[in-house]
């Protein structure tokens, strides 16, 4: 028997990386999954992966910074599967990177819209449906960058810190409804948001990440999917308002914190500018 049998989940940013890995895991545990992303090709492929893993899934294209799109996403879950039990706010971008004085207001606002406003919108529009079924679980992808600083990642750090504390305040508000609100703080996860699907970069990142943290390997989407499954399932029914760190020991000892994102790193990210969705070149 699956740990999510009979449950319905929305997972944003699930065409690739952490979201896709989690969608496949949830489907294998019995959940019906609404895949959502701007990447249509990747989203439809993720639906096929979920079905091959024994689950039900549909794809909905959505811009997570748009309130209308989030409302439509929740409506799609209800139309297709009749209820909503789990929301995983996972969609993200690198956002504006580089020296703080060089970041434009426009790039700052775009970063915050995707990384923080989307979490607010997801929570806002999912709780009413969760109340109807007696409760639910809201999960968001924060980051270790939300609990300490990284050079050159100013909007990202600020937004992820916001996700951590929004998780806490929302958990207080919705505990009476048996709606649990938690977030996951991943460490170095080798996903397309870093390697941009550029030849050889994914493999180079594996080795570079392995050298920088106590558990000497790069993190993978499956590592975060396991934590998300715990938070989505009844195993965590007394857990709310928490920022669960899943980082291979990165936050207890690493040389990464003092380096800008381009320093000695094989990442395909530019040293400055705005980094959008991972499927965009």
Helices and strands of the chain, counted as H and E runs: 9, 9
Strand, helix or coil at 257? helix
Q: Which residues pair with 136 in a beta bridge?
A: 179
Cβ 238 vs Cβ 247: under 8 Å: no
User: Which residues touch 271 (CB under 8 Å, ≥6 apart)?
Assistant: 97, 98, 152, 260, 261, 262
User: Which residues touch 137 (CB under 8 Å, ≥6 apart)?
Assistant: 85, 86, 87, 179, 180, 182, 231, 232, 233, 236
User: Which residues touch 48 (CB under 8 Å, ≥6 apart)?
Assistant: none
Torsion of CA 246, 148, 119, 221, to 10 degrees: -30
Long-range contacts of 195-202 (CB under 8 A, 24+ apart): 195/267, 195/268, 196/268, 196/269, 196/278, 196/281, 197/278, 197/279, 198/268, 201/266, 201/267, 201/268
Strand, helix or coil at 135? coil
User: What amino acid positions are annotated as catalytic residues?
Assistant: 156
Q: Which of 249, 236, 276 is nearest to 92 (CA)?
A: 276
Q: Which of 186, 266, 176 is nearest to 221 (CA)?
A: 186
């Amino acid at each position: 028997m699956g740990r999510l049998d009979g449950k319905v989940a929305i997972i944003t940013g699930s065409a690739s990386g952490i979201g896709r890995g989690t969608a496949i895991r949830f489907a294998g545990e019995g959940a019906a999954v609404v895949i959502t992303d701007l990447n249509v090709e990747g989203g439809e492929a993720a639906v096929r992966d979920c079905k091959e893993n024994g689950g039900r899934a549909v794809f909905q294209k959505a811009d997570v910074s748009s309130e209308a799109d989030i409302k439509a996403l929740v409506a799609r879950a209800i139309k297709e599967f009749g209820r909503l039990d789990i929301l995983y706010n996972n969609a993200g971008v690198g956002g504006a990177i580089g020296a703080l004085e060089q970041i434009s207001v426009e790039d700052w606002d775009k970063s915050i819209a995707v990384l923080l406003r989307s979490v607010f919108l997801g929570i806002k529009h999912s709780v009413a449906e969760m109340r109807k079924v007696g409760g639910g679980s809201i999960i968001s992808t924060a980051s270790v960058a939300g609990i300490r600083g990284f050079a050159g990642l100013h909007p990202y750090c600020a937004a992820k810190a916001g996700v951590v504390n929004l998780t806490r305040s929302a958990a207080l508000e919705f505990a009476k409804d048996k709606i649990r609100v938690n977030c996951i703080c991943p460490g170095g996860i080798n996903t397309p948001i870093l390697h941009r699907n550029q030849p050889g970069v994914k493999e180079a990142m594996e080795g570079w990440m392995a050298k920088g943290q106590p558990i000497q390997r790069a993190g993978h989407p499956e590592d975060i999917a396991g934590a998300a499954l715990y938070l989505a399932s009844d195993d965590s029914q007394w857990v709310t308002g928490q920022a669960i760190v899943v980082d291979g020991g990165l936050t207890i000892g690493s040389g990464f914190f003092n380096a800008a994102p381009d320093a000695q790193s094989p990442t395909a990210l530019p040293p400055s500018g705005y980094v959008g969705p991972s499927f965009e070149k």
